Structure 1
Amino acid sequence: MASSSSSKIVIVGAGSGGGAVLARALSTKLPSAKITLINPLPYAISRPTLPRMTVSDQNDLFDTALMPYDKLFANPNGTFVQGLVEIIKPAAKGGSVVLASGQELPYDILVLAPGSIWEGPLDFPTDPDAVKAFLSESRARFSKAQKIVLAGGGAVGIEYAGEIKDIWPNKEVTIVHGDKLLFNPAYPDGFRKGMEKSLRDRGVSIILNDFLDDIPAPGPANIKTRNGHSIDADLVVTTRGPRPNTEFVARSLGADTLDERGQIKVTKTLQLINHPNIFAIGDAINTVEQKQVMKAMAHSGIVAGNIIATVSGKGLKPYKGSPEMIIVTNGKNGGKAYMGILWGLTFGDWFARMIKSKTLMVPMARSGLGLS
């Protein structure tokens, strides 16, 4: 391994909770290393803002939630490269990544933070020139529709329902969810039932233990659920969970690098099996926990320390996980929170509004990237 004075560290993926946070930390703690951060877009997206941003231009977040990397690096040892990684080329020592443009970047240590691939209005384009049109089209679809069906009742579907009801209280909103309660069993039933009640109180219809197998094109349609429910809709939006953005990893390092869900298999120290100079963080790794920004930030902290230990010839520390916590908005003024500490703590509208609902944590995300 190269010494810290000449180590080339390449980070693939620059999410505001993962790769970008790690790049900033390494820029501070390894000022003589050469750090390269690669991302298709020239800014990080604060993903918790997207249900609000893609529904309407009211309280538009475009100028604050798309966060440039121009102040990311604390020292002049960091470089941002806009591009898409096509291939990883590991070698006996180090290796390189090849971008879609053909540019090849060598590394001593590689960190994979590729995130997830979403569907529907969360499927943000990777072409910066297409972003404004994408947002305009999404907002127009929500504005025109009177009867909206959300396919998936996890945090994303719930937050979309709340945003729609904030702006258009009289629109018909229906959530179709495949479990007995909203969310998933990572959270206690009381929390899940409380969220259901708060949505129903706002006029949101909820169909549980059922699925939408097909998502029709926007426009009037009568849709049938798997269990035979008939729903009239003007717009059906997929709000299901994403899939890991890891095709390039399997193509480069072999299919056995991933588990059956397409997640990157990592050791306790968040290194790839058989590739000790490659680390991985964020949504795309196979740690048994919910996929959240705060978890990616915890991964970044462990990997930052382990990279410093690697270049210093010291021992690495394992990632031990963290308690499950979630704050889910129900529009700008409500929501619920659960914290898996002590006996399990649940908080209501006032807490969600104070911590997340009003600002969607944009100031915190910007601060983490060196922005005001």
Structure 2
Amino acid sequence: MASSNGTKKVVIVGGGVAGSVLAKSLQDEAEVYVIDPKEYFEITWATLRCMVEPSFAERSVINHTEYAPKAHLITSTATRISETEVTTANGKAIPYDYVVIATGHDDRTALTKSERIGHYKNDQEKIKKANSILVVGGGPTGVELAAEITVDFPGKKVTLVHKGPRLLEFLGEKASNKALTWLKKKNVEVLLGESVTNLDSNSEGGVYKTTGEKSVTADCHFLCIGKPLASSWLKETILKDCLDNKGRLMVDANLRVKGHTNIFAIGDITDINEMKQGYLAQMHSGVVAKNITSLASGKEKLEAYKGGPEMAIVSLGRKEAVAQISGMAMSGWIPGKIKSGDMFVSKTRKTLGLNSK
């Protein structure tokens, strides 16, 4: 439903990596509504640095109004999509010409920037007070957090427990082994093929038990396991039959939800067979911005999403990293120089049209 001046209405559900770039791109072309429970966008690949250096969040946590001042921000969650409107938990019904689902993963966190930075200050204080720290989860979040702690606080005893047979299982074995070797050189104890059985009863630290009957003594712990996709709400909407068995939205080559001509999906919630990386989610946004602009102007030819290079970089503290690029693994200061110093914060801020410093 176009506005009174003929401008198309675009509703973006989710203000994360993909949704933020799309809102910034379309705010001059359409009447944009961003539905997000948070007042801010967070550069997610900088979160582990913020835990050891909370001031880093001043640049990586960005209010939606900073990068998309022309967009309408609805601080709530979407609860329903019909053929004509999106309904939110706070009772708003927003009519649309185009909808873009960009909800990513379910991440219950602070609602305001100041609250989010407060959480990081609490995390840093927790790390400072502890002599020994348990990190649960050996994916990119757990590996990066263990590395950040051991580099910034080298006197701490860090133990990482991972239920899988190797670290960073979304990468190849060479990259996994390089990360493991680096952590061990930094005196991080790594327990693979183990799960912690008594996390709830050890919220304040103590002796943690594993499924392999091992004991880990730690003053505190951080849970770094994958979060579920934020798609369960779609099961009661017109998109209920567009979800695959993993809860992802099935999309066509133009990133439209299959079976719909004016509903798109971008980011981690899509069923595209590729690494779920932030730079690829931003590429999704670029394609959908062009396609919505084309459709709004009456053009029938749309751009297809062609994917990007298979690349992932996992930081190992402030100067080093492990990377996998087109199947080749490397570690050390070269991949670290690409990511680990600034964590791509300047680059992301520039993408959003903000001061990169």
TM-score (norm 2): 0.90
Which residue of 39, 43, 58 corresponds with 2:40?
43
Partner of 1:296: 281
Distance 2:131 2:273 in 1: 39
What are the ranges of 5 or more consecutive residues in structure 1 without an aligned counterpart? Answer: none
Which residue of 171, 174, 195 corresponds with 2:179?
195
Distance 2:48 2:291 in 1: 35
Indicate the RMSD between aligned Cα atoms, in angstroms: 2.4
Distance 2:22 2:50 in 1: 26
Partner of 1:25: 25
Q: Percent identity?
A: 29
C-alpha displacement of 1:255? 4.0
Q: Which amino acid aligns with 1:124?
A: T
Q: How does 1:7-22 map to 2 (within 5 A)?
A: 7-15=8-16, 17-22=17-22
Distance 2:340 2:73 in 1: 33
Partner of 1:240: 225
SS in 2 for 1:271: coil
Distance 1:238 1:5 in 2: 49
Q: Which amino acid aligns with 1:189?
A: E
Which residue of 52, 58, 80 corresponds with 1:55?
52
* Contact 2:23-2:32 at 8 Å conserved across structures: yes
Distance 2:114 2:321 in 1: 34
SS in 1 for 2:300: coil
- Do the aligned partners of residues 346 and 89 (structure 1) sit closer, same or farther apart at CA in structure 2, a change above 3 Å counting? closer
**1:11-61 per-position Cα deviation (integer Å, ceiling 9, x unaligned):** 11122x311111222235xx3x3222232222211111111112344xx21
**Aligned residue pair count:** 352
Q: Pick which of 62-71 and 328-337 moved more.
A: 62-71
Distance 2:180 2:77 in 1: 41
* Contact 1:250-1:257 at 8 Å conserved across structures: no
* Contact 2:317-2:340 at 8 Å conserved across structures: yes
**1:176-225 per-position Cα deviation (integer Å, ceiling 9, x unaligned):** 122222111x4221121111111111111111122234523432322222
Distance 1:236 1:115 in 2: 25
Partner of 2:125: 140
**1:298-336 per-position Cα deviation (integer Å, ceiling 9, x unaligned):** 211221222233232313333333332111111111112
Q: How does 1:352-367 map to 2 (within 5 A)?
A: 352-367=335-350
Distance 2:334 2:95 in 1: 46
Query: Runs in 1 of length 4+ with deviation above 4 angstroms?
Result: 1-5
Partner of 1:345: 328
C-alpha displacement of 1:350? 1.9
Distance 2:308 2:91 in 1: 39
Partner of 1:257: 242
- Do the aligned partners of residues 70 and 126 (structure 1) sit closer, same or farther apart at CA in structure 2, a change above 3 Å counting? closer
Distance 2:251 2:196 in 1: 33
What are the ranges of 5 or more consecutive residues in structure 2 without an aligned counterpart? Answer: none
